[in-house]
Structure 1
Amino acid sequence: MTASARAARLGAVLLLAAGPVAAQEAGREAEPAPVVSETGAVERAARPRPRPSEAPRSAALTAPGAPVAPDAPRAPPPSAGVQVRALDKFSGLTTQFGAQLGDPTRYERLTITVRICERRPGGDVAFIVIADDKTPDAPVFSGWMFADSPALSALDHPRYDVWLASCSTRAAEAP
């Protein structure tokens, strides 16, 4: 090996060895020390993965006065009630009525209970449970209904169609 090759290899080793010192001075975690193989090649040792409990926290969480990331989008406000439309297929009459969250509401022989209703940018969505007096043991419908797409998740009943019209964010809007 020539003198210039040895100097180049030594310079590379010194440069790599200075990495941990510079990292410690900067407050970062030090890189593993380089390894020189018998052939003269400089290799970096594999860096061990930190355990989840040892994972470094971001500077924004730990440094006082650090800039704070903008808040994540907030959940839509819960509604106080809903507007529901129902169709009696025998008579052909369509009725729109209001229902309060959590309170069972009667329509003909159906009992409609709205558990959750939210106003979202894509349209209102509600979790509705509908029971029929003829089958009191099990609900005839239990699931999400979408105001913008009533056929997406619809009540399958021989006599009635029920769908979500809209959510109300104030108690005064839902009778």
Structure 2
Amino acid sequence: MHLKKNTGLGKTKFNLFIFLFLIIPFFAYSEQNQVGSYTNIKILDKISSKNILVKLKNGEAKKYKDLLIKSMKCKNSEFDDNPEITAYIQVSDLTNKDKDDVFVFNGWMFSSSPSITPFDHPVYDIWLVSCY
């Protein structure tokens, strides 16, 4: 009777080792890179027709003329062929003295489809540019 060596088990353990220690950390690292610390938005003044790029650090509020803008979180999409940038933004109008109306805009913005959740203001228009 001729005995064969069981080499298949060693290969399986080695392949499992490669998967666990090389591939899984790569996916975890790439997912962490999707969430950004800064959000770039453009603000259009409809009266003067001038626009400005505003850099917001997530979690901090920034005042621009009559608006108080705060980006809570931003995220880049996982797909490179059709990039999508999303950000959770809160906007308050400082000229509004009515305390019942807290935010002019409070929700998610999408870079590819700004009309899904539009920012509705008579003087300003805001749209999402990037997240990093």
TM-score (norm 2): 0.68
2:91 maps to 1:130: yes
1:156 aligned counterpart, secondary structure: coil
Could you tell me which residue of structure 1 aligns to residue 46 of structure 2?
89
- Which among 121, 124, 129 is matched to residue 160 of structure 1? 124
1:76 offset after TM fit, Å? 4.9
**Paired residues of 1:76 and 1:118 also in contact (CA < 8 A):** no
Question: RMSD of the TM alignment (CA)?
Answer: 2.3
Task: Tell whether the 8 Å contact from 1:117 to 1:124 is kept in structure 2 after alignment.
Answer: yes
Q: Does 1:139 align with 2:103?
A: yes
- What letter matches 2:91 in structure 1? I
Question: Equivalents in 1 of 2:120, 2:32: separation in Å?
Answer: 29
Shift in Å at residue 151 of structure 1?
Answer: 2.0
Distance 1:160 1:167 in 2: 21
The structure that is strand-richer by fraction is: 2
- Considering Cα pairs closer than 8 Å and 6+ residues apart, tell me whether 1 or 2 has the greater RCO: 2
Give unmatched runs, 5+ long, in structure 2. Answer: 1-12
Partner of 1:116: 73
Give the number of aligned pairs: 104
Which amino acid is the alignment partner of residue 160 of structure 1?
Y
What is the CA–CA distance in structure 1 between the aligned matches of 2:90 and 2:45, rounded to whole Å? 18
The verdict on how the C-alpha distance between 1:116 and 1:148 changes in structure 2, with shifts beyond 3 A counting, is: same
Name the % identity.
Answer: 28
Which aligned segments of 4 or more residues in structure 1 are displaced greater than 6 angstroms? none
1:135 to partner: Cα distance:
2.6
2:63 is matched with 106
**1:171 corresponds to which residue?**
none
Give the greater-gyration-radius structure (CA). 1
**CA distance in structure 1 between the partners assigned to 2:127 and 2:32 by the alignment:** 21
Using the alignment, how far apart are the partners of 1:76 and 1:89 within structure 2?
37
Comparing 73-82 with 157-166, which one deviates more in the overlay? 73-82
Task: Report how far residue 148 of structure 1 moved.
Answer: 1.5
Q: Distance in 2 between the 1:141 and 1:166 partners?
A: 19
